[in-house]
Structure formats: C-alpha cells, structure tokens
Amino acid sequence: MTSLAERRSRIVRVRQMEHRVARAKLANAEAALANLDRISGRISGLRASLKPDAERTTGLALKSMAEMALRLDAAKGDLAAPIRGAEHDRVRSIAERLAAKTREEGAEKLREQALRSENYEQTRRADANRPFRKRPSTLGGAK
C-alpha cells in the first residue's frame, strides 16, 4: 500500500472507533432514559395503590396516605426535568452517531478510491515496464 492508502486506512480505523464510541454513548443515554421511565412508572404505580380501605381506615391512615400521595406527586414532578434531559441526551447521541457513521462511510470511500488508484498505477507501471514486442499485423495479410 502507498502512504496515501495507509493513511486513509488509519483514518478509517479512527472513524470506526469514533462510531463505536458514539454507539456506546447512545446505548448509555437510552439506558438512562429507560431507567428514569421505569422509576416514573414505579412512582405512578405506588401512587395508584394508595386507596383507602372503606371499612377499616382511620384518620391517621388517611392522613398518612394523603402525605404519601403528595410526596409521590412531588417526586414524579421532580423527575420531569431529568427525563427531559435524558431525552435530549438521547437525541443528541443519535445525531452524533449518525454524524460518526457518515464520517466513517466517507473515510471508507476515500480509502477505496486510494486503493483503486494505487491498483491502477501499479498496473500502469507494470505495463510501462514490459518490453515492446512487435506483433505481426493481421490486417495486411502475408507478404
């Protein structure tokens, strides 16, 4: 390989690593978002389970349930900002991954172009180094 093809191969390897890092960041962002969604779902489930028993509920139990409901509502409200942040990180990670993939594909095309050019030049040099041999003409017939 020529220095140009070797250089472009190194660039392709770097771009592949950048794409892998971007995919890993996207996976982490999606995992964080899924975790926050799971926590929000658990809070909603706990809030929904706070129903007083019609027969045996004391005033103190009702007060405790109401306080717990308020705390769960506050916790759900406090989760809204981190969920928006995680969604934003996920969207940003998707964009970074797409950009990294585009750069990787561009580098691969440049490497393939350099390899084609190198092969063409090798063939051209090999043809130029071949000795000239005069061939009999097929047009003129035998003399």
Phi and psi torsions of 134, nearest 5°: -75, 130
% of the chain at pLDDT higher than 90: 66
Report the alpha-carbon distance of residue 52 to residue 68 in Å, rounded.
12
The arithmetic mean of pLDDT across residues 66-87, rounded, is 94
Q: What is the pLDDT of residues 17-67, one digit of tens each?
A: 999 999 999 999 999 999 999 999 999 999 988 887 777 778 888 888 889
Q: What is the pLDDT of residues 96-111, one digit of tens each?
A: 999 999 999 999 999 9
CB under 8 A, 24+ apart: contacts of 13-20? 14/107, 15/100, 15/103, 15/104, 15/106, 15/107, 15/108, 16/104, 18/100, 18/103, 18/104, 19/97, 19/100, 19/101, 19/103, 19/104
